[in-house]
Every structure is written in structure tokens, then in C-alpha cells.
Amino acid sequence: EWAGELKRDRYFVVNTESGDTDNLLVTVFNPNHGENKFQNMTKGRLNNIFLYYRELGELHWSTARIEVEDGDGKLTSREVDFAAEYADESSYGYTSMKWKLGNFVSEGTYELKVETKCNPLGGPPDIDMFSTS
């Protein structure tokens, strides 16, 4: 589920008045946080929880990126995955990550979605994922 300002406002603006023009803080909520954190769910069927974006009117979705420190302390670009080892879910079920806009996303109006990817069960493909925008 969406959480924070994106849930409340349903849109965002990044411009010269923004406090951080290179990043956008995106927060999602784990409705099952009382049972398990997203990271722990990857030991079962859940593989990933990706953030996707596309310019309004486009067909192709792109995967949002984040900068994280690798084992050597160097910044590296990774996919925004709310179930990854670099995601930090609070005890209340909220996970916030800074989507790296600078050099990846040009000025424009965008749609966002969060989509889970799961291990296949052998049924129709849409049973192995969930998407919300």
C-alpha cells in the first residue's frame, strides 16, 4: 500500500523549490507487518517489491533506482526494492526509500506503481504478482 505524502496527496512535484531535487522519498506500508516484514517474506513466495514509473501517456514502465553503499562503502545504483536487504521496514510496517531522480528522470508528469513479484505457482501469470498505482 502507498503511505505518507503519496497516499495523502496522490501526486508529487519536484522542482527548484524542492528540498531535495535529486531524490524523492517514497513510503509503502506492509499490511501484514504484524505477521512478517517484507524481507522475511522473501524466504517464502515473495521475491521483490519494485517501484516503477512512466511518463504520463507512455506504455513502458521503468524501474526506479536508488543509491546504496556496497560492501566497500562505495555508492552503487540498485533497483528500488522494498523487500531487499537494504530496505529498512519499521516496526509499524512502513518502509521509506529515496528514489534517485537526478540523471534518471527528466522533468515531466509521471505515474507510479508498486508491484510484487512472487515465485510462480503454475497458474495464470497474474496470480504471481500484485500491482497498485
Tens digit of each residue's pLDDT (9 = 90 or more) over 78-116 = 999 999 999 999 999 999 998 988 777 877 788 888 988
Cell 522542482 found at: 15
Q: Which residues contact 57 (CB under 8 A, 6 or more apart)?
A: none
pLDDT band at 125 (very low <50, low <70, confident <90, very high): low
* pTM of the predicted model over 0.85: no
Q: Which residues contact 98 (CB under 8 A, 6 or more apart)?
A: 20, 23, 24, 25, 26, 66, 67
Q: What span, in angstroms and rounded, lies between the C-alpha atoms of 21 and 8?
A: 20
Lookup: cell for 23: 531524490
Residues 39-74: pLDDT tens digits? 888 888 889 999 999 888 889 999 999 998 888 889
